[in-house]
Amino acid sequence: MATEVTVPVLGESIVEATVGEWLKQPGDPVKQDEPIVSLETDKVAVEVPSPVAGVMGAHAVQVGDNVAVGALLATVEAGGAAAAPAPTPAPAAAPALAPADTAGQQAPASGDAPAALSPSVRRAVLETGVDPGTVKGTGKDGRITKDDVMAAASTPATPAPSAQPTPTPSVAASTSRKEERVKMTRLRQTVAKRLKEAQNTAAMLTTFNDVDMTAVIEARTKYKDLFEKKHGVRLGFMGFFVKAACMALKDVPAVNGQIDGEEIVYHDYADISVAVSAPQGLVVPVIRDADQLSVAGIEKTIGDFGKRAKDGTLKMDEMKGGTFTISNGGVFGSLMSTPIINPPQSAVLGLHRIEDRPVVRDGQVVVRPMMYLALSYDHRLIDGREAVTFLVALKNAIEDPTRILIDL
């Protein structure tokens, strides 16, 4: 008897998703509650578990298809391995390339089915020419990740011994250029739409400042081992910046507000959205009541977000809301940027890389670890004076972390 697997309820106002990756192929044994397919929504990837134990039946939809809540995804056949469908005999002459994938490109032939690889992994396989059948997966349940493919590509292959030298072909090397079309993920489509709406709606402006990171670096170096031993999490820079931002938001409430129709909404709390990396792109979970948390509490929350973003287990409710956003492009090497507001918020803080630069202190030119700060804001609500005041308050707190302890 076959049990149908359908698209579950995905959350408030979400009625559709995109099939991102099949985790089980027809004929694979399946345990009850074991994930069989990953769906991409506007905000996160959601894994759909099997309602029963048995054998994976036919897929009703393909990777890249849009599916509505309640739509049929696949079936799970009752029974054990004996109930698995008989394998299809291999053709007498195997083609040089595997069938084309959902993006319209041909994937390299290998022991792994192309559908078992996520879109980013398939893209890396196409770009590098690595045979995924030779790659050992380090992801969840042994799945191959993009980093696994890139690592395999950077490892020189050992050529197999040849009994006779291979004659050099006289035909000139191909100069053809290739293109690949990959359907935008639902998350990327939503990000693109929201960012363009922000540009079209807000009177967006960016103001800059720089901050001397000497004091924070010294504090982190001095206490990082004790901090990790006591709290079980590494002491980073984000904890300092979130606390400093919360203090500055109290001094300049407009930066923590938003426009709702003809009204301005001011928040007496700080729910800080933080951008973290996920396999499908950047996601922005929210640290609730960040102004009430300690540096340790903030670092624990961010660490948990980062881990679950990579595992694809962040919940949609954790992405909603937020009164102010911090985006750290410095971890990718960014020197300076103009971040875009995350509506309906009115401001976003961009952090950048730390680099040694000459600065003047007490009449002397010295080298200090400096970082550029960028505050993009909606000029309809926030004046230039308020934006500069916010950045100066943030700068003062980072350059003298004692201010954070005494709330000054």
State the catalytic residues.
379, 383
| Amino acid making up residue 240 | F
Dihedrals phi, psi of 153, to nearest 5 degrees: -70, -30
Q: What is the DSSP letter of 318?
A: G
Instruction: Report the distance separating Cα 58 and Cα 163, nearest Å.
Output: 46
Six-digit token string for 13: 């106002």
Residue 323's Cβ-count burial label (10 Å; 0-12, 13-18, 19+) is buried
For tokens 């300076």, the residue is: 336
How far is residue 201's CA from residue 24's CA, in Å, rounded to a whole number? 43
397: closest CA among 379, 373, 361?
373
E strand or H helix at 389: helix 384-399
Tokens of 156: 């020189």
The candidate with the shortest Cα–Cα distance to 219, out of 401, 378, 10, is: 401
- Distance of alpha carbon 151 from alpha carbon 211, whole angstroms: 36
- Give the pairing type, strands 2-6 and 29-30: unpaired
Contact 72, 78 (CB under 8 A): no
Residue 211 tokens, joined: 């901050």
Q: Are 216 and 402 in contact (CB under 8 A)?
A: no
3-state SS, residue 246: helix
Query: Which residue type occupies 236?
Result: G
| Count of all residues that appear for the chain in the document | 408
